[in-house]
Structure 1
Amino acid sequence: MSDAVAPCLPNWVPEDIVRYLMHTECGVSIRQLAKQADCHPSTVLRQIRRLEEWRDDFLIDGAFRALATEVSGENATGAAGDFFAGDGELARNKERLLTVLAQPKAVLIVGAGFEKGAVLRGDADDQERDQISVEMSLAQILAVEGAIAGGGTGQILKYRITPEGRLALAKLAADREQLARVRSEGVSQSAIGAVLGLAQMQAARRAEQDAAGAGPRRARYGVQETPLQILSRFTNRDGDPFLTPEMVSAGERLREDYELAQIGVHLNREADQFREPGTAPEMGGQEMSRRALERVNKAMMALGPGLSDIAMRCCCHLEGLEAAEKDLGWSARSGKVVLRIALEQLQAHYGKQPTVLRMIG
Structure 2
Amino acid sequence: MTARRLETRLHPDDRIDPGKAGPQVMRHVTVNAGESPIAWLASRGLLTAAQLGAGERLRCDYERAGLSARVTMRWDAAPPGKSRGGARASDASLARIDAHRRFHAALDAAGPGLADICWRVICAGEGIGGAEKALGWPARSGKLVLGLALDRLARFYGTG
TM-score normalised by L of structure 2: 0.66
Number of matched pairs: 120
Match of 2:48 among 244, 250, 262: 244
Letter in 1 for 2:148: I
Query: Is 1:333 the equivalent of 2:143?
Result: no
Query: Is 1:254 the equivalent of 2:58?
Result: yes
More helix per residue: 1
CA RMSD of aligned residues (A): 2.7
Q: CA separation in 1, counterparts of 2:79 and 2:58?
A: 31
Aligned-partner SS, 2:122 = helix
Over alpha carbons, which structure has the higher Rg?
A: 1
Query: Is 1:314 the equivalent of 2:124?
Result: no
Alignment correspondent of 1:343: 150
Match of 2:36 among 205, 226, 237: 226
Q: CA separation in 1, counterparts of 2:78 and 2:155?
A: 43
Q: CA separation in 2, counterparts of 1:230 and 1:258?
A: 19
TM-score normalised by L of structure 1: 0.30
Q: CA separation in 2, counterparts of 1:270 and 1:256?
A: 22
**Once the 2 structures are TM-superposed, how far is the Cα of residue 275 of structure 1 from its aligned partner?**
5.5
List gaps (5 residues or longer) in structure 1.
1-221, 235-240, 353-361
Percent of matched pairs sharing the same residue:
40
Match of 1:298 among 91, 94, 105: 105
Letter in 1 for 2:65: A
Aligned-partner SS, 2:126 = coil
Cα displacement string for residues 310-334 of structure 1 (whole angstroms, at most 9, x for unaligned residues): 0111111111011111111111111
Aligned-partner SS, 1:262 = coil
Aligned-partner SS, 2:112 = coil
